[in-house]
Structure 1
Amino acid sequence: MRIGNKELIKDINRNLVLETVRLYEPLSRTDVSKRADLGLSTVTSIVDRLMEADLIYEKGEAVSTGGRKGVLLRFNQNYGFTAAIKLEESRLILSITNLASEILLKTEQSFEPGASVKEVMTLLIRSLASALEQLRLSQDRFLGISIVSSGLISDKEGKIIRSTLLGWENADVCTPIQDHFHTPIFLSNNVNAYTLAEKEFGFGSRFTSFICLSIGAGIGASFSFGQNLYTGHHGGAGEVGHTILYPNGYQCHCGQRGCLEMYASERFFQIAGPETKREYPESPLHSFTFDEVYHQAGLGDRLALDLFKELGENAGFGLLNLINLLNPEAIILIGEGVKAERFFLPYALEKANENFFGKAGLSTPVFVSRLGDDAWLKGASLFAINHLFAPPIYKKSELFS
């Protein structure tokens, strides 16, 4: 932590004015003074410096209250840019965003499943360099890189401790990128990234505490309490997919048996589908991918509908356990699986409402995210953006250095 002195106070006040304009724009200088609880002369002096730095600008006039109209201040969202990257099993999705998390460019690059860390990082570096060149961005305005992936992530070490999807263990993904681009790198779990997007742009903005539950190829969760994400001691909070649902159930890739992920994600279709098919000889289902089961459910196939019903009931147990354990204000469902909400959600909610609080008439609302796939990237960008605008009590702000 920095030593308390006049320089620190100036930096804190400058950061406060900038954040006030960024979060509540457009504002007059008088509005900023009231919101930030700073003297008007102090605000005016800081605003002049921020305008010189191109961080804020004037545009428009405030509504007159009888005196001279105030000029409105706005944050320059294009002052700087970040890269947000999502690593998947066989592709990386890369975007360049401005400081409002608006995606200016997005590309996808494929790689072989099981590709090494070195192979994927080489591809990432090449793709990012190409994107920056395409947008003609100057290095001094390129302010951070955020990378998100499934699995157990150590943001402090900059390592993917374990990702079953990628097949990596103790993978140092930050060092090679840092060595090439010389800018701050942020690494996190992908569900945490989506949760930041929900908190900023979605249903999560309504609540102080909420949980995002991801349903798709796997199961994961992220916890937002107050202004912070709870990630756990080793970054492993949210691995609800590996809580035990049936102790003697299906073998999970994690080494346990009966994990929720084996019963409420695409993996359930792949295991239970062929077993159940014998009872539905007329069903056209042969490939038990999520997309195929979803397609056949839409056509009214009985096997597909029954598989979704059972998946929904299993997911309901996951919801029930989260509600009983943490009693959040709300749960938000995310992930590629939510497009099939009409086929499984009623059964999940029926089971979830059996929780202790629901029986007391204190039901927990469950929402389905409407942000779409870009939320993974927008949320990822917020790791870098929030770092840039953090109060400068531990170190001097990179924006003013």
Structure 2
Amino acid sequence: MSTQIRGSFHWMKSLNKSIILNKIRMDGPISRADIAKQTKLTPPTVSSIVKELIESKLVIESNQGESSGGRKPTMLMINASNFFVIGLDIGPKWLRAVIADLNGKSYDSAIHHIPASITEQLLIELTTDTIESIFSAHPESQEKVIGIGIGMHGVVDADAGIATYAPSLDLRNIPFKEVLEKKFNLIVKVENDARALSLGEAWFGKGSNSEHVITVNVGRGIGAGIVIDNKLFRGKHQIAGEIGHMTIDLSGPLCDCGNYGCLQTLAAGPALVKRAVKSMSMHPESSLHSFKEEDITGKVIYEEAVKGDAFCKEIFEETGVYLGTGLTNVIHTLNPERIVIGGGLANAGDLLLDPIKATITRKALTKEAKETEIVFSNLGKFGTALGAVSLLLVEMFAKAE
């Protein structure tokens, strides 16, 4: 049946099928009668579509439910572990990959370093090799893979499946969708990494119960994925969420984009390290002096801060203030109910979260804005790859109105 699914993705996306699939996903085990009642579809329509979904092995029948006076109804549930999606997170430095089922359960993962001098062709080859290695490691799952999702750093044309500009790699117009669909005969979805992470949070993580949620990815750069009314917002030209290029300090450092004082020049991982290295000479008491300059990383600064180094704590405090300032601007612009922070710096925990919250409390306009929920992602370092998995799932499962 997997070949049918690969060849008929649009069949799964028909409105009534998607509504029924999503109802079973969200509320299963559920009976046919309850599906009809809750979706306003007619019982014959529900029965006909459910029959197709069972034949496709995408839906299975489970134990019988409670009777309301007649025969016990047969319950339905998604056969999540029978189908898989490959998700890729292509960042400035690392390519991370997972193979996961329809519930987001990861069955395997891989990580590869991306050289700074990589070319378009070599990046495509690395991506292709990674996918092939997953297939080789899981031959029994190969025929059950329904698609490939990619979360790519930088500017992405999601409709065309092209990475139009990857600033940290200095690459442009990488045709991932065209190349990979031809190579693997699978549906391929490509999205900006922060937006992919935001979908992953909405499906599997801290954003799953929020209609208006922003996920901010803070690593080597800073980007945001915006979900409004449960829908991903890209903007007219697909650059919505590039909050890393929000100007915070007109006299600040030069950014890769050519502007000065962008948020990511002040609060991203490399900026934190650069500020520490630049200022440590004024703090001879700091334990950072026991490290070679080239060995000082965000992780090292965090570990020394946890041990009690006052200077390292101060570096995180400053970073949190910058982030809090940027997030206050986001709150005033979009008014989300929740902001989820992911990426490498999210591992800093309260060292970063406390000054972020304090800054928002100090700067936000209203009591409600000051109380905007700020949480860290719990999806881990493969969160964006899982978000890439959800790029396929959001196509399969439409939200029932």
TM-score, normalized by length of structure 2?
0.88
Aligned residue for 1:40? 43
More helix by share: 2
Aligned residue for 1:73? 76
The structure showing larger relative contact order (alpha-carbon pairs under 8 Å, at least 6 residues apart) is 2
**Mapping for residues 180-219 of structure 1, pairs under 5 Å:** 180-219=183-222
1:197 shift after superposition: 1.6
| 1:74 partner SS | strand
Q: Within the alignment, does 1:314 sit opposite 2:322 as a pair? A: yes
Q: What one-letter code is carried by the residue in structure 1 that aligns with 2:362?
A: E
1:47 shift after superposition: 2.3
Q: What one-letter code is carried by the residue in structure 2 that aligns with 1:369?
A: S
1:358 shift after superposition: 3.1
Residue in structure 2 matching 1:296, options 298, 301, 304: 304
Aligned residue for 2:135? 132
Unaligned segments of structure 1, at least 5 residues: 1-7, 392-401
Answer with 327-336 or 289-298: which moved more: 327-336
Residues 248-267 of structure 1 show CA distances to partners (whole Å, capped at 9, x for unaligned) of: 11111221111111111222
The change in CA–CA distance for 1:188 and 1:11 in structure 2 (over 3 A counts) is closer
The change in CA–CA distance for 1:229 and 1:157 in structure 2 (over 3 A counts) is same
Aligned equivalents of 2:235 and 2:280: distance in 1? Answer: 41
Aligned equivalents of 2:278 and 2:30: distance in 1? Answer: 62
Aligned residue for 2:109? 106
| 2:173 partner SS | strand
Q: What one-letter code is carried by the residue in structure 1 that aligns with 2:165?
A: R
1:157 shift after superposition: 2.8
Aligned residue for 2:331? 323
Aligned equivalents of 2:114 and 2:163: distance in 1? Answer: 18
Q: How high is the sequence identity, in percent, across the aligned residues?
A: 28
Q: What one-letter code is carried by the residue in structure 2 that aligns with 1:38?
A: L
Answer with 136-145 or 291-300: which moved more: 136-145
| 2:215 partner SS | strand
Aligned equivalents of 2:136 and 2:278: distance in 1? Answer: 52
The change in CA–CA distance for 1:363 and 1:45 in structure 2 (over 3 A counts) is same
Aligned residue for 1:305? 313
| 1:278 partner SS | helix
**Mapping for residues 103-252 of structure 1, pairs under 5 Å:** 103-137=106-140, 141-252=144-255
1:303 shift after superposition: 1.4
Query: Contact 1:358–1:364 (CA<8 Å) still a contact in 2?
Result: no
Aligned residue for 1:13? 16
1:243 shift after superposition: 1.1
Aligned equivalents of 2:111 and 2:275: distance in 1? Answer: 32
Unaligned segments of structure 2, at least 5 residues: 1-10
1:139 shift after superposition: 6.2
Aligned equivalents of 2:218 and 2:114: distance in 1? Answer: 24
The change in CA–CA distance for 1:296 and 1:158 in structure 2 (over 3 A counts) is same
Answer with 169-178 or 240-249: which moved more: 169-178
| 2:236 partner SS | coil
Aligned equivalents of 1:11 and 1:242: distance in 2? Answer: 38
1:354 shift after superposition: 2.8
Aligned equivalents of 2:65 and 2:184: distance in 1? Answer: 42
Q: What one-letter code is carried by the residue in structure 2 that aligns with 1:382?
A: S
| 2:265 partner SS | helix
The change in CA–CA distance for 1:359 and 1:90 in structure 2 (over 3 A counts) is closer
Aligned equivalents of 1:174 and 1:32: distance in 2? Answer: 35
Query: Contact 1:324–1:355 (CA<8 Å) still a contact in 2?
Result: no
Aligned residue for 2:97? 94
Q: What one-letter code is carried by the residue in structure 2 that aligns with 1:326?
A: L
Aligned equivalents of 2:286 and 2:141: distance in 1? Answer: 57
1:138 shift after superposition: 6.8
Residue in structure 2 matching 1:269, options 268, 272, 281: 272
The change in CA–CA distance for 1:114 and 1:61 in structure 2 (over 3 A counts) is same
1:371 shift after superposition: 2.5
TM-score, normalized by length of structure 1?
0.88
Aligned residue for 1:338? 346
Aligned equivalents of 1:57 and 1:228: distance in 2? Answer: 28
Query: Contact 1:117–1:173 (CA<8 Å) still a contact in 2?
Result: no
Aligned equivalents of 2:14 and 2:374: distance in 1? Answer: 41
1:388 shift after superposition: 3.0
